[in-house]
Structure 1
Amino acid sequence: MLFRPYRALYIGNKRIPFTPGLIPRNQERLAKNISDTIMGSLLTPQELQNLARRLLQTDRVEGAILWLLQSALEQIKFDKDQKSAKILASILRDLLGESLPRLLKTLARREDFLETQINQIFDQVLLEFQLNDEQAKRLADWLLQVVLPPDTIRSAIVDFLTDRTIQTIDESFREKTSGTYWVVANLFGLRNTLTRLRTFCLDEKDATNIRIRELTQDLNVNNRIKRFLLDLSLQNLPIATVRQLRKTTRESVRHYLQTSGGELLQGLSDSMDWDNIAAVLITRLGTSPVVSASLETVSKELALVLERYLERDLEKIVAQVIPILSIDQVIVDRVKSTSPADLEAAIEGIVKNELQAIVSLGGILGFVVGLLQTALLLFSGS
């Protein structure tokens, strides 16, 4: 009668009493009672916290994190769609093209921005820099061939020898010379000579260039410039000049970064193929022994961080997880969805001996009561 019949039996429209059995008839209420009992006595928040602590022990969490990292690394190696590379390319593009320029402009406003680094570069590189013989020779050749070719010198002479300049030179030469030079300056002067020189440079360009080239070779200008470059060193300057030059260099770099550093980085970012760079980086990371060796360390550190977090907030987390999991409703739904036959088999499997004892005890009690009633009937009939 506890379990059977499983369904209600009817005679006409009347349900036969005690059908279905006691448990199938009250299965919904039984499910609610089971849920309340389990959640109230067995799966209490404290028990769930203890369960979470056992499950989330540091060694277990470390192993799980290590497995996840290794799985992610393997997934990256066989990622045919290059999803990870595309994500990394977007991050690098935003970092160098957007975030870093804004940060650079903000930091460049500080007076001490890169002060130590620039001073170190100035002292260790610029201050000790000096050209060797080959470098000085090449630089001198470049200056004479590119920066100061004969045609450029000729044009500079023409631009310099204006009428006002010629007059000033002539008057100054007349006033400030003495002796033989005074006689020459006042009898002949320089005006006519300088005017003829300018006219020659304008009218005879090719000839002037040839004369300038020959004069450069005759005066050995190349070797003079070379010796000057070999002797050129910041260490030969006075200390006060070097300090001022270092300060000026630092301020110039800071000002340039503040005004144009962002545009420089953005232009550099636009010119780079971030997709290809990201793919190369991903491939390198996937095969890097350093990355593989560091996975255990990373997983251990993350497990320790998670442990400290759980020690502080585990109670709050469990309190938030219980409503999300809806364990009580899961128990109710599971019991309600179980067929009466399966429910009978489950209960009998748990308390089979106890139910059999109840049945046996009921039979004995019934037999005793029957004997007593029979004896009473016999005595009362006699």
Structure 2
Amino acid sequence: MNIVTLLIFMVFIGAAIGAVTNAIAIRMLFRPYEPKYIGKWKLPFTPGLIPKRRGELARQIGRTVEEHLLTPESIERKLNEPDFRRDVTVMLQKEAKPLLAADQTLAELLDKLHFKEAEQQTERWVESWIDNKYHKIKSFYLDQTIRESLPAQWLDTMEEKVPDVSRYILTKGIDYFSGLEGKTRVKRMTDDFLAEWGKLGSMVQMILGNTSLEDKIQPEIIKFLSSPGTKDLLNTLLQKEWDKLLDWKWEDVLQKFSDEKALTKGKSFILRQLDLASLFQKPVSVFLQPFEEKIINEIIPLLVERAGSVVASRLPAIMQKLRIGDIVREQVETFSLARLEQIVLDIARRELKMITLLGGVLGGAIGLIQGLIIRLF
């Protein structure tokens, strides 16, 4: 065999051995997936390196992702990037516009959000709120007098109204007795009076002659009601009664009235004013469209900015709670070995081919050197 043929043969053999050896080594990273036995003796290098160390590999990948890839600092930088915030703002603005113009009713929207029987629940909440407020106010003021519980300004104002009340009463009294109804009432009263006195009453009527008793009494009543003294007397009486009323405790006041009936009527009145049935049947756009420009141009950008700042400030705690490393480890451990092999090959296929080629080149070089040594010696 001449030297050229020998060298070519040695180079070819060396390259084949180097390439095949590296290919087998790469293959042994994944295969076999399970240990192989001859009888009770387990074959060495089975299972492959990655199947054997999959748990440790999963932990290392999880730790690497948590400590070097998805770190609070890297996420915070991303959240604070102006381009990222601008993209989020534009996306939310596009999503908000159809909602602001939606023709679905408030009840339909709440139903889609799984708030069932929203109208009935709102009505029950309003009634419960009124009950709670009423009983809290009642228990707070129950042992207090009216004077203690009302503001001083209210008391002064109402006390100033006492003369107006007496003037109103006297004016209405004068108007009443000056009219036909008042005169009829006086006549009925005098007739009853004369009838009770019998003969004495008849004598009084005879003394008066053609003039009826009511004609004498009616002007006197009007004169009495128009007298300044009567007004002063009524002012004094009203003032005394008002002072007595102010010293009542609310407990005494409530005993004279059915507060439960008043509470029931109050709740019914408030619910009628709220008109929840009509409110929940209105389209969502009725509530939102008046504020559309403000929501789109002001509220959403402000919300993105503040939400980003809040999330960024709490990222360390959030990341600690999420345990990204554990999540990655659990996901990697659930991968089948075939899928894990495919992932690694997809990532490093070119590099693994280059390693195989490098083995062939090195083997060929070694074969060439061996051929030259054999030729020399």
Structure 2 residue 134 is matched with structure 1 residue 100: yes
1:109-156: CA deviation from partner (whole Å, max 9, x where unpaired) = 58584455676788899959969x99986798798599x78777888x
Q: Which runs of 5+ in 2 are unaligned?
A: 1-26, 203-211
Q: Does 1:77 align with 2:99?
A: no
Match of 1:342 among 339, 343, 346: 339
Q: Contact conserved, 1:9 with 1:20, CA < 8 A, in 2?
A: yes
Name the counterpart of 1:325: 322
Unaligned runs of 5+ in 1: 158-195, 205-213
Select which of 74, 81, 85 maps to 1:47: 74
Deviation digits for residues 43-79 of structure 1, max 9, x if unmatched? 1222233445567789479759968996999574236
Structure-to-structure mapping, 1:1-382, within 5 angstroms = 1=27, 2-51=29-78, 59=89, 74=104, 76-78=106-108, 83-103=117-137, 106=140, 111=148, 113-116=150-153, 198-200=196-198, 215-216=213-214, 218=215, 221=218, 260=253, 266-271=260-265, 272-273=267-268, 277=272, 280-281=275-276, 283-284=278-279, 286-287=282-283, 289-290=286-287, 292-294=289-291, 304=302, 311=309, 314-315=312-313, 317-379=314-376, 382=377
> Higher mean Cα deviation, 270-279 or 334-343?
270-279
Deviation at 1:28, TM superposition (A): 1.6
| TM-score, with length taken from structure 1 | 0.57
SS of corresponding position for 2:120? helix
Alignment root-mean-square deviation, CA:
5.8
Residue 366 (structure 1) shift = 1.9
Q: 2:62·2:326 contact (CA, 8 Å) conserved in 1? A: yes
For residues 347 and 303 of structure 1, do their structure 2 counterparts lie closer, same or farther at Cα, with a shift above 3 Å needed? same
SS of 1:320 mapped into structure 2? helix
Aligned to 2:24: none
State the shift of 1:293 in Å: 2.6
Percent identity over paired residues:
18
For 1:185-207, what per-residue CA distance to the aligned partner results, in whole angstroms no more than 9, with x for missing partners?
Answer: xxxxxxxxxxx975439x99xxx
Equivalent pair of 1:97/1:266 in contact (CA under 8 Å):
no
CA apart distance, 1:281? 2.0
CA distance in 1, matches of 2:45, 2:279: 75
Report the secondary structure of 2:316's partner residue: helix
Distance 1:53 1:270, change over 3 A: farther
State the shift of 1:320 in Å.
3.3
8 Å contact kept, 1:8–1:19: yes
Work out whether residues 31 and 335 of structure 1, in 8 Å CA contact, stay in contact via their aligned partners in 2: yes
Displacement of 1:88 in angstroms is 1.8
1:93 deviation in Å? 1.4
Which amino acid is 1:28 matched to?
Answer: G
Q: Is the contact between residue 144 and residue 222 of structure 1 (CA under 8 Å) also seen in structure 2?
A: no
Distance 1:215 1:321, change over 3 A: farther
Cα gap change, 1:63 to 1:36, in 2 (>3 Å): same
- Aligned pair count? 321
Comparing 247-256 with 84-93, greater Cα deviation is found at 247-256
Structure 1 residues 363 and 90, CA gap change in structure 2 (3 angstroms): same
Superposed CA deviations along residues 295-340 of structure 1, whole A, max 9, x for unmatched, are 775796698589658746853x333322432321111111111122
SS of the aligned residue for 1:366 comes to helix
Task: Give the conservation status (yes or no) of the 8 Å contact 2:36–2:46.
Answer: yes
C-alpha change, 1:24 and 1:40, in structure 2 (3 Å) is same
TM-score normalised per structure 2 = 0.58
Partner SS, residue 45 of structure 2: coil
Check whether the contact 1:31–1:336 (CA below 8 A) recurs between aligned residues. yes
Partner of 1:182: none
Q: Which has the higher contact order (CA 8 A, sep 6+)?
A: 2
SS in 2 for 1:361: helix
